[in-house]
Amino acid sequence: MVRPSATLLLFIFGLASIAPSTAEAKRKRRKGPPPAGWNTGDDGQPDCYQPPIWSELNETERRIKRAEVLDEILAQWRGERSDGVSFDATVVERVETTLLGRPERIEEVVTQNSELCVAGNVGAWQSWVKGLRKALTVGECNQPLDYTMFDYLDIATDWQRPLPICKGNRVVIKGSSNDRYRIQDDGPWINVDGDPNQLTTGADWPCNMEGCKAGMLIGKFVGESGTESIFVVGTSTVFTAPEHGEISYRINDKVFYDNAWYKSGGLVDHTAIEVSPAQ
């Protein structure tokens, strides 16, 4: 039997001490940015899309890549990758529409999206997506209310049909006065002017300032800054937006289960609503 020499043994042991372990080698390979494209997450974590290094692309390549990357992350947000990620469809649609009108913002959005995905906090990621449209359009107003909107009042729900409105927009809100309903089983039949015998001053009524009546048509404005104001509509009112925001409307009521439309000869009343620019 041939025994290895002491010199050979020292050489072999030296190599072993120099060579990194498999785990160490993997850790070293993880250093640096992950490759562009989809990267599989750790156990229990979603896959994450790593955008390219934008500065390495020319302008034509960047435009093409923006569209490709946006499609990928939107598909994940919609739950199409089946990796546990699924955000509100309406929110995703609004963000998509906003980004398609601002393609230059796609690069920063997909980069932030990758960072949030890698962080692994899906709740924080979802909150970011929910507020993304507002963050992308802050200070802008690309949807002035310069058209006429026709609708029918729903007396069985709260605030309805939120409409975007720009600062300075003056709009007329009208409700047909011939159509009747009631908000209590034994209550009077009223129209959008409300019940003149029931003023609402309690804090539990949505409209509780002077002039507010039970069952009347009221409006709400929510500004971009988060400010909220309630106003009386009745059969007609003119509202001027103090800042960019949204307006919506409802009847002044606390509960809806006992509300009913007036019926006569098989015909059911339905209050018509019209929102249009003020002349």
Place of tokens 């209310």: 145
Would you call 63 helix, strand, or coil by DSSP? helix
160: number of Cβ within 10 Å? 14
pLDDT of residue 29: 45
Q: Are 193 and 213 in contact (CB under 8 A)?
A: yes
Q: How far apart are CA 277 and CA 145, in angstroms?
A: 7
Q: How far apart are CA 39 and CA 45, in angstroms?
A: 11
Q: Would you write out the chain's pLDDT as a tens digit for each of its 279 residues?
A: 555 555 444 444 444 444 444 444 444 444 566 788 898 877 778 899 999 999 999 999 998 999 999 999 999 999 998 888 999 998 998 899 888 888 889 999 999 999 999 998 999 999 999 999 888 877 777 678 888 999 999 999 999 988 889 999 999 999 999 999 999 999 999 999 999 999 999 999 999 999 999 999 999 999 988 899 999 999 999 999 999 999 999 999 999 999 999 999 889 999 999 999 997
Query: Largest Cα–Cα distance of the chain, in whole Å?
Result: 114
Q: How far apart are CA 117 and CA 111, in angstroms?
A: 10
What domains appear along the chain, each with residue ranges and CATH number? 33-137 (no CATH), 149-277 (2.60.120.430)
pLDDT of residue 17: 47
Q: Are 111 and 48 in contact (CB under 8 A)?
A: no
- DSSP-assigned beta bridge partners for residue 182: 260
Q: How far apart are CA 90 and CA 279, in angstroms?
A: 33
Going from the C-alpha of 226 to that of each of 19, 137, 140, 145, 158, the distances in angstroms are 60, 15, 15, 19, 19
Q: Where are the beta strands (DSSP E) in 211-271?
A: 213-214, 217-223, 228-232, 236-240, 245-251, 260-261, 263-264, 267-268
Taking the model in full, what pTM does it have? 0.55
pLDDT tens digits, residue range 74-126? 999 999 988 889 999 989 988 998 888 888 899 999 999 999 999 989 999 99
Q: Are 274 and 152 in contact (CB under 8 A)?
A: no
pLDDT of residue 33: 67
pLDDT of residue 264: 92
- DSSP-assigned beta bridge partners for residue 213: 199
Q: What are phi and psi of 151, to 5 degrees?
A: -155, 175
Q: How far apart are CA 72 and CA 80, in angstroms?
A: 10
